Amino acid sequence: MTDRPPPRGDGRIDLSAIDSADASRQDRVVAATLARIAANSRQSATDFSSLVMPYIRPAVAAAVLLAAVAVGTVVLADRPDPADQQQPVALLTNWADSRHVPTNGELLLAFQGYGGER
Amino acid sequence: MAESDASLVARVRLGDTAAFEILMRRHYRVAYFVALAGVNNDTDAEDVCQDAFVAAWRHIADCREPDRFGAWLVRIVRNTAHNRRDYLRVRVAEPIESGGGVAGGEASDARALRHELRGQLMRALAELRPVQREIVLLHDLAGLRHAEIAERVQVSENMSRRHLSDARKRLRALLGDYATLEPDHD
């Protein structure tokens, strides 16, 4: 689509006297803008750090506490119960102390449970 | 072949400042004249351009049509100029006052004449409606064609021609002997 020519006597007015968009001024504006963008980026990074920093120490402390609890739980869970382990021995000791002769049933009950855990 | 606006915008979205610099330089003159039409002062127009460019960088994700980055930027520039004019309460009729005092000599005489012409032009432009001022600057100084102006100013091409014609008539009436006619490009 071609533009129609302007009506007669409607010519362009020379406005070049107000044309301040020359290369040097453009360079200055572009450089200033890039500097502001860089400064904003640095500021954003700083803002993020300052936002996160107060929470870092409590977060680390909580993580250490959780880790300690987790490790403790695992260690305790893996260790065999000493009471269970010593139950037949204790029974035998009791029987010997009281000079009780265990019946076959008592022996089976005592040692079945002990052997079943192995 | 120059890289397209859409491709540059995609790079800017990844944080590429070099791509943004290309976009700024490509659209600087249009942005500057839209800002000048808004604040009628060259120093403020440059500040508006800076603010608008920084805003464009920050909100580049909101540029929904990257191939029409220029039109999107013009909207940001116009809004920024509007806010700045309100904030500073710049008098629209205030002429540009740049350059220092004028000393003697032929060069100084030429500078003084240019300074005077500049003042006359800015006062005359201040009498136009904002849309006329924007269109006459974009057409006669930034060198845009009506189709390009229509896209950026959000008017039809016919309205762009009409505003330009009205603006020129008004300027000629205001400027009298200062109005120097030139061949038209569009």
Judge whether residue A113 has pLDDT over 90.
Answer: no
- Answer whether B182 sits within 8 Å of A11, measured CB to CB: yes
pLDDT at B133: 94
pLDDT at A82: 60
| pLDDT per position as a tens digit, A56-75 | 778 888 888 888 888 888 87
Angle, vertex CA B96, rays to CA B90 and CA B99, nearest 5: 135
- Give the ranges where chain B is alpha helix by DSSP (H): 5-13, 17-39, 42-58, 69-88, 106-126, 130-140, 146-153, 157-175
Interatomic CA distance for residues B116 and B113, integer angstroms: 5
Average pLDDT over residues A70-89: 72
Give me Rg for the CA atoms of chain A.
44
Interatomic CA distance for residues B96 and B123, integer angstroms: 9
Average pLDDT over residues A37-64: 76
Q: Is B76:B116 a contact under the CB 8 Å cutoff? A: no
To test the contact with chain B by mutation, choose from A8, A16, A22, A29 the residue with the greatest count of B C-beta atoms within 10 A, namely A29
Residue B93, min C-alpha distance to chain A (Å): 15
Average pLDDT over residues A17-41: 90
Enumerate the residues of chain A whose CB falls inside 8 A of the CB of residue B165.
Answer: 6-7, 10
Judge whether residue A7 has pLDDT over 50.
Answer: no
Q: What is the mean pLDDT of chain A?
A: 76
Q: Which residue has the tokens 């870092």?
A: A56
Whether ipTM tops 0.85, in short, is no
Q: Which residue has the tokens 């072949």?
A: B1
Chain centroid to Cα B127, Å, comes to 16
Positions in chain B short of pLDDT 50: 90, 92-93, 96-102
Residue B182: strand pairing partners: A12
Judge whether residue A89 has pLDDT over 60.
Answer: yes
Enumerate the residues of chain B whose CB falls inside 8 A of the CB of residue A39.
Answer: none
- Grade residue A1 by pLDDT with cuts at 50, 70 and 90: very low
pLDDT at A109: 79
Judge whether residue A117 has pLDDT over 80.
Answer: no
Q: Report yes or no: A22 at the B interface, CB cutoff 8 Å.
A: no
Q: What is the pTM of this model?
A: 0.67
Q: Closest partner residue to B96 among A6, A18, A29, by Cβ?
A: A18
To test the contact with chain A by mutation, choose from B50, B115, B159, B160 the residue with the greatest count of A C-beta atoms within 10 A, namely B50
Please tell me which residue, B99 or A83, carries the higher pLDDT value.
A83
- Grade residue A27 by pLDDT with cuts at 50, 70 and 90: very high
- Answer whether B50 sits within 8 Å of A34, measured CB to CB: no
Q: Closest partner residue to B140 among A4, A13, A40, by Cβ?
A: A13
To test the contact with chain B by mutation, choose from A4, A8, A15 the residue with the greatest count of B C-beta atoms within 10 A, namely A15
Residues found in chain A: 118
- Answer whether B181 sits within 8 Å of A13, measured CB to CB: yes
pLDDT at B145: 94
Q: What end-to-end distance do the CA atoms of chain B give, in Å? A: 25
